[in-house]
Amino acid sequence: MNRQIRLTVNGKKKEIRIDVRQSLLEVLREQLGLLSVKQGCSVGECGACTVLIDDVPIDACLYLAVWADGKTIRTVEGESRDGKLSSVQQAFVDEGAVQCGICTPGFVMAATSFVEKHKQQKVSRHDIRRGLAGNLCRCTGYDTIVTAVQKCLDDDD
Amino acid sequence: MFNFRSYAKAGSVQEAIRLLGENPDAHLIAGGTDILVKLHKGKAQFDHLVDIHDLAELNFITQNDSGDIIIGPLVRFTQVAESELIYQHIPILSQAVLTIGGPQVRNVATIGGNLCNGVPSADSATPLIALNAAVTIEGRDGSRQMPLESFFLGPSQVALERHEILTAITITHDNYADYFGHFHKYAMREAMDISTIGCSAVCKIKDGILQDLRLAFGVAAPIPIRCKGTEDKVRGRKITPKLLTDIANYVSTDVRPRTSWRAAKEFRLQIITTLARRVVERALLNAGGIIQ
Domain segments of chain A as ranges? 2-78, 87-154
CA distances B133 to B69, B84, B124, B128, B270, Å, are 10, 19, 11, 5, 28
Query: Which pLDDT belongs to residue B257?
Result: 96
Buried b (16+ CB within 10 A) or exposed e, B152-163: beeeeebbbeeb
**Using 50, 70 and 90 to split pLDDT, how confident is the model at B42?**
confident
CATH annotation of B56-174: 3.30.465.10
Query: How much is the average pLDDT of A141-150?
Result: 96
Secondary structure class of B136 (helix, strand, coil): strand
Any idea which fold A2-78 has? Ubiquitin-like (UB roll) (3.10.20)
CATH 3.30.43.10 intervals, chain B? 6-51
Query: What are the residue ranges of CATH 3.30.465.10 in chain B?
Result: 56-174
B190 pLDDT band (50/70/90 cuts)? confident
Best CA proximity match to A74, nearest among A97, A94, A51: A51
Q: Has the ipTM of the complex gone over 0.90? A: yes
Q: Which of B42, B40, B238 is nearest to A61 (CA)?
A: B40
Chain B residues in contact with A114 (beta carbon < 8 A):
103
- What's the pLDDT score for residue B43? 79
Q: Are B33 and B108 in contact (CB under 8 A)?
A: yes
- Judged by CB atoms closer than 8 Å, whether chains meet at A63 and B32 is answered as yes
Q: How many CB atoms lie within 10 A of CB B130?
A: 33
Name the superfamily (CATH) of residues B184-286.
Answer: CO dehydrogenase flavoprotein, C-terminal domain (3.30.390.50)
Query: Is A67 part of the contact surface with chain B (CB cutoff 8 Å)?
Result: yes
CB-CB neighbors (< 8 A) of B190 in chain A: 130, 133
CA distance B80 to chain A (A): 15
Strand ranges, E, within B175-242: 180-186, 197-206, 209-218, 225-226
pLDDT band at A81 (very low <50, low <70, confident <90, very high): very high
Return the CATH number of the domain spanning residue range B6-51: 3.30.43.10
Which pLDDT belongs to residue B261? 92
Cα A105 from chain centre: 6
> Which chain B residues are Cβ-neighbours of A20 within 8 angstroms?
7
CB contact (8 A) between residue A50 and residue B1? no
Residue B36: closest C-alpha in chain A: A62
- The dihedral through the CA atoms of A58, A61, A65, A67 has a sign that is negative
Of B36, B41, B103, the CB nearest to A133: B103
The phi and psi torsions of A114 (rounded to 5 degrees) equal: -60, -45
* List of chain A residues whose C-beta atoms are within 8 Å of the C-beta of residue B1: 19, 21-23, 26
Q: Write down the mean pLDDT value for chain A.
A: 96
Least Cα distance to A68 among A132, A14, A11, A1 occurs for A14
- B273 CA to centre of own chain: 20
Domain ranges in chain B with CATH number 3.30.390.50: 184-286
Give domain A87-154's CATH superfamily.
[2Fe-2S]-binding domain (1.10.150.120)
* Chain A CB within 8 Å of residue B56 CB: no
- The Cα of A122 is separated from the nearest Cα of chain B by a number of Å equal to 17
